[in-house]
Structure 1
Amino acid sequence: MANDINSPTLSTTGYGEVIAKPDMAEFSVAIQADRSQAKQAKAAVDKVVETFIASLTKSGMARKSIVSSHLQLSPQYNYPKDGKPVLNGYRAVRDITVTVEQLDKLNTYLDLALQSGVNRVNNINLKVKDETQYKQKARQAAIADAKQKAQQLAKGFDSELNGVWSIVYRSHSVRPVMMAKVVAMESQSVDQGYQDEEMTISDQVDVIFKLKN
């Protein structure tokens, strides 16, 4: 692109980051049941799902904040060294994803999962409600960084900026706080180290500046 104009150019990349403190969360749990009959496995899982959802809504959570997956039902086999596979029963699995608008209630909802018979917590993802404002701040920081670099470089080479030739926006990225480990609900222990966590929201922009001849 710089070859299309009759003046020298200077290319810079601006980076911007802002740190945000999470004020909401999203967690997913799994309910699994192994039974000799498919119908029994399904019934066992459905019962836990219904109990957990009822507990959440009774505690004041909006139903739209709870998303349950379709049932996954699969036969389970034993594989002897010699001979054909032997059907050993059926496994039913369903996942539930819960959006927590008030972070201080996260432990309460996880306790409800335990009491309802949920088998495990797959992950806990901490977020911020008004993510847009942080994205905008990161973007402005990236723009300022690109300008500052260009000005310093131009000055260092005894030149001056003469406007912008092109801008390429590289979009933003969010590094959420993930409590990634799977937590077995039988242990009655859920990681509570999220309270002082922070998340990083970054942005990037590539700019080509024109230089005075």
Structure 2
Amino acid sequence: MYQAYRQDGADRQIRVHGSGSVKVKPDTAVIQLGVVTEGTNLTSVQNENASTINRVKSKLMAAGVEEENIQTSDYSVYPQYDYVDGKQEFRGYQVSHMLTVTVEDIEQTGAVIDAAVQSGANRVTNIEFTVSQSYYYYQNALQIALGQALATAQTIANTMNVKLDRKPFRIVEEKGPDVPPVQPYAKTQALSESAVPIEPGLMEIEARVDVWFPFYP
């Protein structure tokens, strides 16, 4: 996108858009997993759940996950009912304890999931991949975007036979990422396989700018 115009009392301007991107291999995985237990006695169900989740945490740490990278993301207790002949009958309780597990060595993601499942985790609901140094890669993408904007403006100026001032007087950067970008992973594959093969692929980090350059006859 570009615009070339002149405002009253202002220098002639060329407005151009630039975009840039870099592809990066993720280095961190964030896994949502946990334990769901059911039964008719709430105290027994809660105790069973607590015992299993503690076993899962111990196994995760033994697999190399730091304790501070294991956090409770959700804990819930639900009464469950069946409907028989139009009547509601109490069936028992369901207790769910979900953890957010951050794996800093992405190559160990499959082993971490295996360790959790083998120690009693029966829910793996989500896996996301991210880049720990995303800001650095974003700066590279931003450089590409600015270079593209300048090249476009120069092409326009050359084609229109005008002189371009390569020093822009205005640059508007589209808001960069506040948090590292994430890439989801298929849940069903993580749930259905043993010795889970994890391949995060590549992520794309993008930057976009609008730039105004002066030009002269």
User: If the TM-score is normalised by the length of the shorter chain, which range does it land in?
Assistant: 0.7 to 0.9
Q: Deviations over 1:160-204 (max 9, x none)?
A: 22332321110335653321324575x443652416x11111111
Aligned partner of 2:194 in structure 1 is 189
Letter of the 2:39 partner, please give it. R
Aligned partner of 2:183 in structure 1 is 177
8 Å contact from structure 1 (residues 160, 211) kept in 2:
yes
Runs of 5+ consecutive residues of structure 2 not aligned to the other structure? 1-5
Aligned partner of 2:111 in structure 1 is 108
Runs of 5+ consecutive residues of structure 1 not aligned to the other structure? none
List aligned pairs for 1:145-164, cutoff 5 A.
145-162=148-165, 163-164=167-168
Residue-pair matches, total: 210
List aligned pairs for 1:23-38, cutoff 5 A.
23-38=27-42
8 Å contact from structure 1 (residues 33, 41) kept in 2:
yes
What secondary structure is seen at the aligned counterpart in 2 of 1:57? helix
How much is the aligned-residue C-alpha RMSD, in angstroms? 2.3
List aligned pairs for 1:96-135, cutoff 5 A.
96-135=99-138
The one of 75, 90, 95 aligned to 2:93: 90
Identity rate of aligned residues, in percent?
A: 27
TM-score under structure 2 length normalisation = 0.86
What secondary structure is seen at the aligned counterpart in 2 of 1:125? strand
8 Å contact from structure 1 (residues 176, 200) kept in 2:
no
TM-score under structure 1 length normalisation = 0.87
8 Å contact from structure 1 (residues 14, 206) kept in 2:
yes
What secondary structure is seen at the aligned counterpart in 1 of 2:102? strand
8 Å contact from structure 1 (residues 31, 118) kept in 2:
yes
8 Å contact from structure 2 (residues 13, 213) kept in 1:
yes
Relative to structure 1, the CA distance from residue 126 to residue 208 in structure 2 (aligned partners, 3 Å threshold; closer, same or farther) is: same
Distance 2:132 2:145 in 1: 22
